[in-house]
Chain A
Amino acid sequence: MYQYDKFDQALVDARVADFRDQVRRRLDGSMTEEQFRPLRLMNGLYLQLHAYMLRVAVPYGTLSSAQMRMLGDIADKYDRGYGHFTTRQNIQYNWIKLEEAPDILADLASVEMHAIQTSGNCIRNTTSDQYAGAAADELVDPRPYAELIRQWSTFHPEFSYLPRKFKMAVIASDTDRAAMRLHDIGIQIVRNAAGELGCAFYVGGGMGRTPMIAPLIREFVPLDQFITYSEACLRVYNRHGRRDNKYKARIKILVHELGKEEYTRQVEEEFAHLLTQNIEPPLAELERIKAQFTDPAYDPSAPDALDRSDPDFALWVDNNCVTHKQPGYIAATISLKPVGGIPGDATSDQIRLMAGLAKEYSFDECRVTHAQNIVLPHVRKVDLYTLWQKLDAAGLGTANLDQIGDIIACPGLDYCSLANARSIPVAQKISERMAAKEQEIGELKLKISGCINACGHHHAGHIGILGVDRKGVENYQLLLGGCEGADTSLGTITGPGFDEDGIVGAVEKATDFYLANKQGSERFLDTYRRLGMAPFKEAIYAKENAE
């Protein structure tokens, strides 16, 4: 994985000093809160419901075991012994003191980490495929391209006061595991007819209150021009994105209002101009980065067979592990969704345990997924049973990846000052209620957001839940039919909302209807797409039969 050189380290160290000075000026009164707020946000520091919250960047979700261990240690040293892994592949701490934030950044910098641009109206952490470098179906490892974007976007002087936040994702396989088309810019690494690698650019996707699927604006940008092309996309947005209404300020609104053709025309015009400015890093820089993402030293004689005699282990393998490009290896997902647990939360001990397992079994590397789980990307199959036993003993052996208990949930009104309703208790109740039917139901992605900002990706859930405030009371809307990935679709609201118990019951009615009506090996989403909303709606809102 990528390792800092003296330049990267100097930049991150300078940022620590910068933020320490900014905090000093805030505390001594040189700066007002209004002046300080965007600065602390660009260092990932929010003022949340109970305290300051710090969001630490995990570029493209990749962590070394030393970095993961540091995340556990920070949870103990500066927080309350746990962290929350997010849908942006980052980690958040909920109980941070402003005075201590510069020290946390210094600790992070000691392991080549930071919180730069994890909030604010700037280019955020670039996300990617959690199986990058391991996936059997990938064209190339997408992370070197994401790393080049990280460097280009870090402290970008022109694009740090954009109309609104800006999120990018990079993938390199046809199976989209990063919800790429729901980003401000989604890039897919592709090969053209001549066999050359390049970037397909999708611009203007996003969730939030106006969800949109990003249109393709250019099929192929050569690798020695894609930073320049990104710059052109951003410049048109910075000039013309709406600043009169924060709810219409994302690039998706600009692309929608201008139309894809006109936006693309302006980008191409700016791109032609920027090509004359020689701002593109040379391909040698991409090669330098790529050299740090080479395959680990796989054991070529690692046996490909797996002893599946323990049925609990076999279930975990079937649910949580995916095929690796290297025979004898597997990519294993550690679910942070135990039944009744808080989605994405891990204790400091669990974080350190996962760090140790990454070192012992996965070439020193782990990943954070946008579904709030942790991946050990390169595990020898002969080690898998021992690994699983250690995970299971620590409460990390839940076998529910992509199932109804593997719920994506934002922190909601338990932690977040923007939320309208709590998300976590709903997730807990659903996972408890549905646990017994989980294996029978199979793949079902359920996603919960506590407000319209959609951090819980409810639009993209096969079942989505949106918490709203109805006259001061929490209320939950149900959506069906959302999906991320190659066949991205947005969910549709079923009808009137529910209270907390009602939404749990509604989810059960929807899944019972699916089980009663599925054909063959259909997933919930397939049955919904075949039958449409009407019969599901009828099943969900039917009055209970008198006993």
Chain B
Amino acid sequence: MTQFRFRSDEPVADPAVTVDSFGEQTNASAVRLEPGDEARDLLPHLDRLKLIEVNFPAYTDGRGYTSARVLREAGYTGELRAVGDVLVDQLAYMRRCGFDSFAPERELNVADAEAAMARYAEVYQPTVDGRSPVWAKRHGIGQHG
């Protein structure tokens, strides 16, 4: 159940398939990446993908952050949804890595989540979220990404 979504388009109704079966189902438009899956295997198919779910079986396994960022760096613009053990204090980092929807397996306190996502007005690194890092602000370099 998607609890937070930062997109204005219609949610994709298709069920996400595994990476293995995605390769066989040429009409699938939604796929689910597990931590051990190689996100770059999807790059040839980005044009037909509308939803990529990245599963976090345990929130301490950070491979999904790299998966997300790699997909955005390659130009993927569809929905990127974090699912599984998604908690309040990881949301801001996930958004920075390109996630734009969240389906935590246990519902989060909305006020806590919104406060956590809004807390940091500045960032030190450019990623794929378009936010200007402080070095860009210091040196008058324009909007990043």
Number of interface residues of B (CB under 8 A): 40
Contacts of A22 in B (CB 8 A): 89
Residues of B within 8 A of A279 (CB): 125-127
**Quick one: CB contact mask for B44-76 with A, threshold 8 Å, 1 for yes?**
000000000000000111110110010001000
Comparing A147-155, A484-492, A515-523, the segment that makes contact with chain B is: A147-155
* Interfacial chain B residues near A159, Cβ < 8 Å: 62, 65
User: A285 near B109 (CB under 8 angstroms)?
Assistant: no
By beta carbon, the residue of chain B nearest A9 is B122
- Whether B116 lies near A161 (C-beta < 8 A) is no
Q: B66 touching A14 by the CB < 8 A rule?
A: no
- Of residues 20 through 62 on chain A, the ones whose CB sits less than 8 Å from some CB of chain B are 21-22, 25, 30-31, 35, 38-39
A155 to B93, CA, bound (A): 8
Scoring B residues 65 to 96 as 1 if CB is less than 8 Å from chain A, else 0, what string do you get? 11001000100000000000001111011101
A18-B116, A161-B61 as given contacts; A285 in contact with B139, CB under 8 Å:
yes
- In whole angstroms, how far apart are the Cα atoms of A535 and B122 in the complex? 61
- Among the 9-residue stretches A67-75, A235-243, A333-341, A447-455, the one with 4 or more Cβ atoms under 8 Å from chain B is A235-243
Interface size class of chain A, counting residues whose CB lies under 8 Å from the partner chain: 35 or more
Cβ–Cβ contact B59 & A282, under 8 A: no
Say whether B124 contacts A11, CB under 8 Å. yes
B121 within 8 A of A: yes
Q: Does B120 contact A (CB under 8 A)?
A: yes
Indicate if the CB atoms of B62 and A161 lie closer than 8 Å: yes
Q: Are B69 and A158 neighbours in the complex by a CB distance under 8 Å?
A: yes
Docked-complex contact A157 and B96, CB < 8 angstroms? yes
Known contacts A157-B93, A158-B97; A285 and B62 CB within 8 A of each other: no
**Given the complex, which residues of B lie within 8 Å of A31, measured CB to CB?**
88
Residues on B close to A: CB < 8 A? 35, 59-63, 65-66, 69, 73, 87-90, 92-94, 96-97, 109, 112, 115-116, 119-127, 133-135, 137-139, 141, 144
What is the interface of chain A, defined by CB distance below 8 A to chain B? 5, 7-8, 10-11, 14, 17-18, 21-22, 25, 30-31, 35, 38-39, 121, 151-152, 154-162, 235, 238-239, 243, 273, 277-279, 281-282, 284-285, 288
Known: A11-B134, A151-B124, A273-B73. 8 other contacts (CB 8 A): A7-B138, A25-B88, A156-B124, A157-B127, A235-B66, A239-B63, A281-B135, A285-B138
A–B complex contacts, Cβ < 8 Å, 22 sampled: A5-B138, A11-B124, A11-B134, A14-B121, A21-B116, A25-B112, A30-B109, A121-B62, A155-B93, A157-B93, A157-B97, A158-B66, A158-B93, A160-B62, A161-B59, A161-B61, A162-B62, A238-B62, A239-B66, A243-B35, A282-B139, A284-B139
